């Protein structure tokens, strides 16, 4: 028996998400308050309209909490690394050092919010680019709200082929694509992602100083996007794993070359995104106690540890053996909607959280040894970390548990089937929006692909559309969804020091994400 696809069921399935967005964007609740309310709504709808037993709702909530651990394992050390850097007083010398290397404030913002965030997404993912880049932008004087929105928009494109391609591999796995179809899908996906990358770069310039910012930044955006998008497109036919990483690192090298162009050697007043009264980026300052290299120390350590593990397969394979799993039985609702049995595995030592913890410890040890952190620093660092991380922990657990309940009850299935049925031939336009929905619910491009990849494939075939184009749109939409996923937003607000203002970030980033998705949707409509 299938869950009846009625307007009432569809509306009820939408209720938890609508409530979440309403409370956050319109009532300005933080995710730590709106998330639990959305879980209660999801559980109530699952128990009544979707005939899920309370015991199964409980099991799905445990599964969600278990999945949330992988996010929280990034949240806590990301805040820790920020607090260590702050305790050492490294942000001011860091800001001055970057201002000397890249005098133009727009290039500084692009370097951290777009290019470095993309590079980090290429190697780590799981929200690390937001957690790392938001405080760095605050450090150079960017207002906290913009410091969160900019890396959210800037890093999103590398969510499919970044993190060593896990989201792309997940899509291939769940759809069992033949090699020829996989090659075509990779081409479509990377072309749509290129659109996202270009729009991301332009939006960063627009946020910086509206159309004047776009005019100033256009040559740099064109050059970086050519490298990011072009390399991803070209390399998508060669490697599933390395193209996002290579494109990210090439873009990072390029931005420093661009910063030396005469056009960007000047240091005009910062755009509207800078804090009033913040020291003007680019101003010549000397006599800093800490050099840029020292100020960036925990982040060097992060790169060294991450690359040292992930690019050395024997090391990674050895460390990956230390994993543990929690088995979950198959669940079936009163409508016969089944969720397969699964063992959710966590590989602790190869997880980004471990790299972040290692970098934080190395950074603390080095700063302490150099005398930049006085005694009692460790206690202060942990106290500040806990204060910031506790509300994020409540929010992440509630949101991921809500998504798990919605998946298990068939609410997500009804939502996507209803949208497909209502749009008919217009489905191609809708395909990336379904990817966005999946990533919004789960804070993960990979999870979005696993959740909706099979559905998109079948629906595209039934509608006579190109399955490669639609699957490319699914994963590109999943990448866009990371701009608004509450998990990523929370990481940003927490590390930028504006915890509780997730609604403001969402009010800003939601229209941007929908605009980008509509452009990708129009492109899919044209080619599918």
Nearest residue (CB) to another protein, 44 versus 169? 44
Nearest residue (CB) to another protein, 369 versus 379? 379
Give the one residue of 10, 39, 188, 252 binding another protein; rule: CB under 8 A. 39
The number of CA neighbours under 13 Å toward the Cβ of 525 is 14
**Cα separation, 448 vs 371, whole angstroms:** 46
**Cα separation, 153 vs 160, whole angstroms:** 14
Nearest residue (CB) to another protein, 38 versus 182? 38
Nearest residue (CB) to another protein, 38 versus 512? 38
Q: What angle do CA 273, 194, 523 make, to 5 degrees?
A: 110
Residues in contact with 374: Cβ distance below 8 Å, sequence separation at least 6, in sequence order: none
What are the DSSP E strand ranges found in 365-441?
Answer: none
Give the one residue of 312, 383, 461, 462 binding another protein; rule: CB under 8 A. 383
**Cα separation, 196 vs 199, whole angstroms:** 5
Question: Does residue 222 interact with another protein by CB under 8 A?
Answer: no
Question: Does residue 76 interact with another protein by CB under 8 A?
Answer: no
Question: Does residue 495 interact with another protein by CB under 8 A?
Answer: no
What are the DSSP E strand ranges found in 242-372?
Answer: 323-328, 331-332, 338-339, 342-347
Question: Does residue 187 interact with another protein by CB under 8 A?
Answer: no
H-type alpha helices, 263-346: 292-295, 297-310, 313-320
Nearest residue (CB) to another protein, 137 versus 441? 441
Give the one residue of 12, 14, 32, 513 binding another protein; rule: CB under 8 A. 32
CA distances from 486 to 210, 266, 362, 403, 452 (A): 26, 37, 30, 12, 19
* Residue range at the interface with another protein (CB under 8 A); choices 51-59, 109-117, 241-249, 448-456: 51-59
Give the one residue of 24, 59, 412, 480 binding another protein; rule: CB under 8 A. 59
**Angle between helix 467-481 and 162-175 (nearest 10):** 140
Q: How far is the CB of 58 from another protein (least distance, A)?
A: 4
Nearest residue (CB) to another protein, 454 versus 500? 500
Q: How far is the CB of 376 from another protein (least distance, A)?
A: 17
Q: What angle do CA 278, 281, 283 make, to 5 degrees?
A: 105
Q: For 58-126, give the secondary structure using H, E and C.
A: HHHHHHHHHHHHHHHHHHHHHHHHHHHHHHCCCHHHHHHHHHHHCCCHHHHHHHHHHHHHHHHHHHCCC
Q: What is the pattern of x (binds another protein, CB under 8 A) and - over residues 12-31? A: -----------------xx-
Give the one residue of 386, 510, 519, 527 binding another protein; rule: CB under 8 A. 386
Nearest residue (CB) to another protein, 47 versus 527? 47
For the chain, how many residues are written? 528
DSSP assignment letter at 142: B
Please give the backbone phi and psi of residue 133, each rounded to the nearest 5 degrees, phi first. Answer: -80, -30
Give the one residue of 9, 12, 33, 302 binding another protein; rule: CB under 8 A. 33
Question: Does residue 67 interact with another protein by CB under 8 A?
Answer: no
Q: What is the pattern of x (binds another protein, CB under 8 A) and - over residues 309-328? A: -----------------x-x
Nearest residue (CB) to another protein, 33 versus 83? 33
Give the one residue of 1, 7, 8, 55 binding another protein; rule: CB under 8 A. 55
Question: Does residue 308 interact with another protein by CB under 8 A?
Answer: no
Q: How far is the CB of 327 from another protein (least distance, A)?
A: 8
**Cα separation, 109 vs 281, whole angstroms:** 10
Question: Does residue 75 interact with another protein by CB under 8 A?
Answer: no
Q: Is 178 left (phi over 0), alpha (psi -120 to 50) or beta?
A: beta
Q: Which of residues 397-426 bind another protein (CB under 8 A)?
A: 397-398
Give the one residue of 311, 390, 461, 526 binding another protein; rule: CB under 8 A. 390
Question: Does residue 346 interact with another protein by CB under 8 A?
Answer: no
DSSP letters of 460-512?
A: HHHTT--HHHHHHHHHHHHHHHTTT-HHHHHHHHHHHT-TT-HHHHHHHHHHH
Question: Does residue 56 interact with another protein by CB under 8 A?
Answer: yes
Residues touching another protein, count (CB under 8 A): 32
Give the one residue of 2, 289, 345, 387 binding another protein; rule: CB under 8 A. 387
283 near 126, Cβ under 8 Å?
no
Q: How far is the CB of 480 from another protein (least distance, A)?
A: 28
Residues near another protein (CB under 8 A): 29-30, 32-37, 39-40, 43, 54-59, 61-62, 65, 326, 328-329, 383, 386-387, 390-391, 393-394, 397-398
């Amino acid at each position: 028996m299938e869950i009846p696809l009625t307007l009432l069921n569809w509306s009820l399935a939408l209720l938890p998400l609508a409530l979440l967005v309403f409370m956050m964007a319109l009532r300005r609740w933080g995710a730590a308050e709106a998330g639990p309310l959305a879980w209660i709504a999801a559980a109530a709808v699952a128990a009544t309209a979707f005939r899920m037993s309370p015991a199964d709702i409980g099991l799905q909530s445990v599964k969600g909490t278990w999945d949330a651990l992988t996010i929280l394992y990034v949240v806590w050390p990301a805040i820790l690394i920020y607090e260590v850097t702050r305790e050492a007083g490294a942000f001011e010398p860091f800001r001055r050092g970057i201002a000397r290397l890249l005098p133009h404030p727009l290039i500084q913002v692009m370097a951290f919010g777009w290019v470095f965030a993309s590079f980090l997404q290429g190697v780590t993912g799981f929200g690390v680019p937001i957690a790392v880049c938001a405080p760095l932008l605050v450090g150079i004087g960017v207002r906290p709200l913009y410091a969160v929105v900019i890396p959210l928009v800037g890093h999103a494109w590398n969510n499919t082929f970044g993190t060593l391609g896990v989201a792309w591999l997940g899509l291939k796995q769940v759809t069992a694509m033949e090699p020829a179809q996989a090659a075509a899908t990779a081409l479509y996906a990377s072309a749509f992602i290129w659109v996202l990358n270009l729009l991301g770069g332009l939006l960063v310039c627009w946020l910086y100083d509206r159309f004047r910012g776009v005019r100033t930044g256009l040559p740099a955006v064109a050059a970086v996007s050519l490298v990011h998008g072009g390399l991803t497109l070209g390399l998508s036919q060669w490697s599933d794993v390395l193209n996002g990483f290579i494109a990210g690192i090439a873009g990072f090298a390029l931005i420093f070359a661009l910063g030396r162009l005469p056009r960007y050697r000047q240091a005009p007043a910062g755009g509207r995104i800078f804090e009033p009264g913040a020291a003007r980026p680019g101003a010549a300052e000397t006599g800093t106690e800490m050099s840029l290299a020292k100020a960036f120390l925990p982040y060097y350590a992060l790169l060294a540890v991450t690359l040292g593990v992930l690019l050395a397969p024997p090391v990674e394979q050895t460390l990956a053996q230390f994993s543990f799993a929690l088995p979950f039985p198959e669940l079936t609702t009163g409508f016969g909607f089944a969720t397969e049995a699964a063992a959710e595995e966590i590989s602790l030592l190869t997880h980004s959280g471990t790299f972040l913890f290692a970098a934080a410890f190395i950074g603390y040890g080095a700063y302490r040894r150099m005398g930049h952190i006085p005694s009692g620093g460790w206690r202060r660092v942990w106290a500040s970390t806990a204060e910031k991380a506790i509300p994020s922990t409540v929010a992440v657990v509630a949101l991921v548990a809500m998504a798990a309940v919605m998946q298990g009850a068939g609410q997500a299935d009804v939502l996507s089937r209803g949208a497909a049925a209502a749009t008919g031939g217009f489905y191609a336009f809708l395909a990336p929006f379904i990817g966005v929905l999946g990533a919004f619910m789960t804070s993960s491009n990979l999870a979005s692909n696993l959740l909706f990849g099979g559905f998109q494939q079948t629906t595209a075939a039934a509608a006579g559309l190109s399955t490669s184009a639609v699957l490319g749109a699914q994963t590109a939409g999943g990448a866009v969804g990371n701009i608004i996923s509450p998990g990523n937003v929370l990481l940003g607000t927490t590390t930028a020091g504006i915890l509780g203002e997730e609604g403001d970030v969402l009010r800003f980033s939601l229209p941007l994400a929908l605009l980008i998705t509509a452009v990708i949707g129009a492109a899919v409509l044209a080619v599918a």
